[in-house]
Amino acid sequence: MSAAAGEPAGGAVSVSFTLGAEGRIRGRLRLSRAFMWLCRLVTYALLALLAVLLLSIVWNSLERLRPDFLSNHYSMNPERCGILAGLWGTFWLVLLTALFSIPIGVGSAVYLEEMAKDTWLMRVIRVNLSNLAGVPSIVYGILGLTAFRPLVIQLQTLFDGRHAVNVLGLFRLRLLKLDIYDGNVLIGAMTMSLVILPTVIIASQEALRAVPSTIRVASLALGATRWQTIWRQVLPASLPGIATGVILSISRAMGEAAPLMMIGVLTVASMCPGGIESPGQLLTEPGRVLSVPFDQFTAMPVEIYDWSKQPDPQDRFTAVAASGILVLLAVLLTVNAAAMIVRYRAGRQLRW
Amino acid sequence: MPTWAARKISRRHETLIRWVLFGCAALSVLTTAAIIFVLLSNAVYAPGTKTAFFERVSLWQFLTTARWKPTDGPRGHFGIWPLLAGTLQVAVIASLVSVPAGLGAAIYMSEYAHPRERECLKPVLEILAGIPSVVYGFFALKFITPWVLKPLFSGLGLEISIFNSLSAGIVVGIMVTPLIASLSEDVIRAVPRSLREAAYALGSTRFDVSTRVVIPAALSGILASFLLAFSRAVGETMAVAIAAGGNPLLTLNPLWGAQTMTGFMVHASTGDSAADSISRMSMYAVGITLFVMTLSINLLSGWIMRRYREVYQ
């Protein structure tokens, strides 16, 4: 009624009623339109925010972003400080994390989706999985710190060059001497695998669920065993979906710093794991790769954290941190673009 | 045609694979068990020669005193409240940012946006969700505080410190907005079209349909997404550790620095105190508090989702 207050009142009752209704409708439509603009504003504000975020990082990075930023080690001098150690550290960390988490994650998903019967144990596993996905990553860091560190000490005593193992009572195999450090790539990758496993499993489960059951039934009807069906029909069909999910999880591992901080990786590093500083060394000195998992390391997000927190009155490390962020974002963008391409091409090929 | 022997091998093969894959699936349960064991055995009761945190500091002191200074003297002060206040402050500010933003974006994308516009907006949200936490921390410390909050509050005559929980809360809010937006959008889109069309047929405007039909119908899922975002904000670490600083003050003033539970844990792990010192052990007590908090919020979220879901045929 209040919306009709501005309308001129007509003589007849019926006329005034329609005029009032019209005004009311106009008011409601105005409200509706205002609401749409509010929602639109909020949505596009997020887009603008992303632009501001990226621009502020680019703007801050201008002072330091030179090619030598990629090839220099850490330095107290922000003019020379570079991200090389973090770049290699993240590379090895992600490689090992993928090696651990992909087989275990996809295996779990296959078991839960294709093999498991609906028992209480399976229900426990499923409920537990969704809860694990919500556990903060820093809690996994505590787990890594407490559960995997003793492992390092065990390995250190085993591989100190004085131990030997008896092989089947036939001969003694002298264990070679390995330098095993605390906070090494192996421990980092094990911890990070636990962080991303729930997301890998859940994404793979969804991809497997998208494969129509007719494929399975047809394969089983032709005499294939359950595993043959999974390996030759279901997995290839769900591979694009699994790959997308896995890549997104891996990119999460690239940006995650909290669990690494907990297990005590280096924040300031002037060496790369295994001493490998260029891709060429992988070919010329392949033996060095063996020492990578046991070597100390740092990762890009950890370095960025350290640079951002650098107590410097002249704020000289801001540009270093911003350049580090740009490198990290560029790597993430490449990885995510790969996921998008996989998804796009698979979407074109597969038609059920 | 496989021979009898081949079939037998194949059956054994299948059983073996089955057990290996079962092992993979069981690993997740093992992980949960390990997390709980590690936290309990260091915080509550240590089986070996070590003494757990609560064997040295009483639970009463932990929960009722309001001073957190682990390295203050030989005994230290262990009252969780300053950390809890910092955490809740950041999480509440984050919710104030992300709830309207996430819900608005979800409604816009599901009810108003052209399908093609929606296809463009979704990746933007995915990018926002995919940006690492340290980057948001940097953004808060080097952009939001000096270029947005400082001019704003100095105009009002208020002092804001370099490390403050307001900027941390804002960036955490931005971080969890895509989570709310995508989860809410999913449940909003699951509301059947017939309900909307019935409302339109009765003369409803789009606003009426959104607020009186669609949101009530999807309310359980929307609330669940708010809770998930809140729990994510509670567990958020690096952005907060960078932006909010490391000073455990018991204050509700968001313009000052604060230390959150996660921020303390990062700080404690990088410090060089001995492995079994009490300041180090306090990390486990904080960890178990964080774990219990996030887990209960997540369980509550799941319960709301299941209990109050409207099911449509």
Interface of B with A in 85-104 (CB under 8 A): 100-101, 104
What are the pLDDT digits (tens) for B11-62? Answer: 888 899 999 999 999 999 999 999 999 999 888 887 777 778 887 788 888 8
Do A142 and B39 count as a contact with CB atoms less than 8 A apart? yes
Do B131 and A255 count as a contact with CB atoms less than 8 A apart? yes
Please identify which residue in the block is written with the tokens 């037998």: B8
Cβ-based contacts of A258 with chain B (< 8 Å) = 133, 237-238, 262, 266
Domains of chain B by residue range: 4-43, 77-307
Q: Is domain B77-307 annotated with CATH 1.10.3720.10? A: yes
In Å, how far is A150's CA from the nearest CA of chain B?
12
Using CB atoms, pick whichever of A35, A53, A57 lies closest to residue B207: A35
Which pLDDT does position A341 carry in this prediction? 86
Question: Does A29 contact B at CB distance below 8 Å?
Answer: yes
Instruction: Decide if pLDDT at A316 tops 60.
Output: yes
Domains of chain A by residue range: 1-61, 73-349
Alpha-carbon distance B301 to B92, whole Å? 17
Interface of B with A in 217-276 (CB under 8 A): 228, 231-232, 234-238, 241-242, 262, 265-266, 269-270
Q: Work out the average pLDDT over B264-281.
A: 76
Cβ-based contacts of B112 with chain A (< 8 Å) = 36, 39-40
Q: Is the dihedral of CA B222, B228, B229, B234 positive or negative?
A: positive
Q: CA-CA-CA-CA torsion for A140, A134, A298, B141, nearest 10 degrees? A: -130
What are the pLDDT digits (tens) for B130-188? Answer: 999 999 999 999 999 999 999 999 888 888 888 999 999 999 999 999 999 999 999 99
What are the pLDDT digits (tens) for A201-254? Answer: 999 999 999 999 999 999 999 988 889 999 999 999 999 889 989 999 999 999
Query: Which residue of chain A comes nearest to B142, CA vs CA?
Result: A318
ipTM of the complex: 0.91
Contact A38, B104 (CB under 8 A): yes
Q: Is domain A73-349 annotated with CATH 1.10.3720.10? A: yes
Alpha-carbon distance A20 to A31, whole Å? 17
Confidence of residue A7 (pLDDT cuts 50, 70, 90): very low
Alpha-carbon distance B36 to B47, whole Å? 14
Which pLDDT does position B9 carry in this prediction? 63
Do B32 and A131 count as a contact with CB atoms less than 8 A apart? yes
Answer left, alpha or beta for residue A39, where phi above 0 means left and psi between -120 and 50 means alpha.
alpha
- Which residues touch A177 (CB under 8 Å, ≥6 apart)? A159, A160, A161
Among B8, B11, B28, most A C-beta atoms within 10 A, so best to mutate, is B28
> Could you count the other beta carbons within 10 Å of the beta carbon of residue B203?
9
| Percent of chain B whose predicted confidence (pLDDT) is above 70 | 93
Do B237 and A145 count as a contact with CB atoms less than 8 A apart? no
